[in-house]
Amino acid sequence: MTAVLVALPLALALLLAALPVVLVPVALTAKRPPGVARTFLAGWLLGILLVGGVVIALIDVLVLPSGNSTWFAYAKIVIGLLLILLGLKRWTDRRESDPEPPGWLAGVETMTAGKAFGLALLLATLNPKNVVIVVAAATAIGEATPVPTQQIVALLLFTLVGSIGVAAPVVATMVLGDRADERLGVADRWMTRHSGSIVSVVLVVLGVVVAVNGFTGV
């Protein structure tokens, strides 16, 4: 239960930080067959689970047997500072007056299922802000419990909650069909305009919280 509780706030942070990524499934559901967007979602989920699983496995093998709990404090400080830096960079790079879609949206109109899966996997495993949040969550889970089953449950819950935004266009299309197009269009325009500010604030606030928590544990 402790692992779940520490993972939930970070899952909400991932949910907000991944707002720009939601532009991809929104575009895919509007311009490609339904299976392409579902494949993108599968790649995203797999990427989050891979990064989180690797970090937790390393903690179980290298950190917990040594009994060096101060490692977690220093890891939190580093992760918190990285989140703050990423948030500040995102703030300076935002474009509220004349928003432009990210470069990785290019070619979405002709994207195949394989390319959609690969793009989602890359965004989940290589995008700095997403990776840092996943690493922070995995570190918190590893610190909260050494029990593998509890770690798995917490990681799965973190992944599902943090991926609600990415999954929403796919689920909306499955439930509402063509009626979802107008709503997805409104969401697309809103996220394109405001996601930069939201993501930057979330990253900075989360970074401060994680770093302060780390400093108190030193």
Q: What is the pTM (predicted TM-score) of this model?
A: 0.83
Q: What is the pLDDT of residue 190?
A: 64
Residue 81 has pLDDT above 50, yes or no: yes
- Band (pLDDT 50/70/90 cuts) for residue 97 is very low
The C-alpha atoms of residue 120 and residue 83 are separated, in whole angstroms, by: 21
163-208 pLDDT, tens per residue?
A: 998 998 888 777 766 655 666 666 666 666 666 777 788 888 888 8
Mean pLDDT of 120-145: 91
The three-class DSSP label of residue 106 is: coil
Split into its structural domains, the chain has a count of 1
The answer to whether 145 and 131 have CB atoms below 8 angstroms apart is no
Tokens 């300076």, residue located: 92
* Residue 126 one-letter amino acid: L
The C-alpha atoms of residue 94 and residue 96 are separated, in whole angstroms, by: 6
6-62 pLDDT, tens per residue?
A: 888 889 889 888 888 888 888 787 777 778 889 999 999 999 999 999 999 998 887
The C-alpha atoms of residue 113 and residue 122 are separated, in whole angstroms, by: 14
**Closest Cα partner for 171 from 49, 50, 40?**
40
100-132 pLDDT, tens per residue?
A: 555 656 677 788 899 999 999 999 999 888 999
* Residue 218 one-letter amino acid: V
Domain membership of residue 190 as a residue range? 2-216
